[in-house]
Amino acid sequence: MAEQCTKSVIKAGCSRRPRGMELFLGIFLAGLTVLVAVAFYYEHSKAEVPHGFSQRQKLYFFHYTLNFTLGLAKFLEKVGIISEVSFLRAAIEGIPPLKDKHLLTKDLSFERVPVRIYQPKASTTGQRRGLLFFHGGGGQFGSIRVYERMCCYFARKSNSVVVCVGYRLAPEHPHPAPLEDCLSATIHFMKTAEDYGVDPSRIVICGDSSGGTLTAAVAQALVNRRDLPKLRAQILIYPLLQFVDFELPSYQQNKGILAFSKERVLILTLKYLNKDLSLMEAILKGCHMPEDLQLKYQKWVSPDYIPHEFKKRGYKPRTTHPFSKELYTLVKPLFDLVLSPLLAEDSVIAQLPETFLLTCEFDVLRDDGLLYKKRLEDHGIKVTWCHLQEGFHGTIFLASLGEVMAFRSGNKGLEKIVDFLRLM
């Protein structure tokens, strides 16, 4: 009888403990659910998803997911678990690579710069065109692996030899390491193109976002190289081209689609340059611009050169703020041509190769592209312009990952890029 009582007490105690744990877990999960719901409501209220956008719910999903990931990265760094950069790199590197049975893939080094070459296996009667690709990621993210699907797509669809450049990233490798690597790899490939079945006169360079910045900078750096064949073309996919004016119409109209705002652009850039983020507010106001540079650059960077149709969604002229010499000294690299190719002299712009330029309506960098387009055309450079009316920053990358991730705008953009490549 005593033994039975003991067993019943033990059983009762065991049963009470799980109930307490279940209660704790229930409260925790309920709190977490409320927290996530509040976060989603907050993101929904500030999300800049255009009313006329035909794939609104899908864009909302990516907006929430990206903002949650960015927030989690900040939290994990704050509590000392993992740095923000390391966490985001790990998340991006989680994208599974794609092996294409129609392509031969080789990992090599060009002047100590890692590259991956994609060559079509199908036989050809002559030499192919070559495409050097510089990935985006703000100089801190992205890799050959992450962009493998896009490079495979270009190689397969355009029957080109594609070279993806795995340039060094900040903060481990400070500015201008990415440009140095991209330029070194490009020069090496131009000198050895025939070893890979490529016609040296049919070499194209290409990049998206900050990779587009690198593409423009490499093209400019090569204009006076008489010892090398001329580039056949450059492909700029929603490139970042200037840090002069953060109040252009596209910056005002597109405040945070997929978390890509003018603040995000500057945060990425200041981190890339290893500068204090407290400088951001003054830069956004234009306090980093001395008067002489304002006068010089306004002939190239001005809302006056943005067509009226791109101001219909709203634009207010910016207000002027006092210049800070100390700030200018700290952020002077922002005006280097490496980061601001739009500021190149006319003598350089006039020698650039034929250009394919892709812009997106719902992208803060839209007007950078429009201004560069004008400069190129003013100097007689042939420009094939693809403007994605429902496009946003990153849509080409998402399209390269497959139909589940793709938006119609991205699919259209990929097709237009391939069409251009086939003509080269």
Catalytic residue set: 209, 363, 393
Strand, coil or helix: 254:
coil
Distance of alpha carbon 186 from alpha carbon 72, whole angstroms? 37
Alpha helices in 193-261 (DSSP H): 210-221, 249-253
Task: Provide the 8-state DSSP code for 305.
Answer: G
Phi first, then psi: what are they for 364, rounded to 5°? -60, -25
Q: Judge whether 331 and 277 are in contact, CB under 8 Å.
A: no
Alpha carbon separation from 82 to 150, 177, 386 (Å, rounded): 29, 25, 40
Tokens representing residue 75 in the block = 């939290």
How far is Cα 135 from Cα 149, in angstroms, rounded to an integer? 12
| Rounded-to-integer distance, Cα 136 and Cα 156, Å | 21
The tokens 């060094």 sit on which residue? 168
Q: How far apart are the first and last CA of the chain?
A: 94
To which residue do tokens 């950078």 refer?
368
What gap in Å lies between CA 278 and CA 330, rounded to an integer? 12
Coil, helix or strand for 106?
strand
User: Residue 4's CB: how many other CB atoms inside 10 A?
Assistant: 8
Return the exposure string of 117-152: e unless at least 16 CB atoms fall within 10 Å of the residue's CB, then b.
bbbbeeeeeebbbbbbbbbbbbbbbbbbbbbbbbbb
Strands (E) in 252-398, as ranges, are 354-362, 383-392
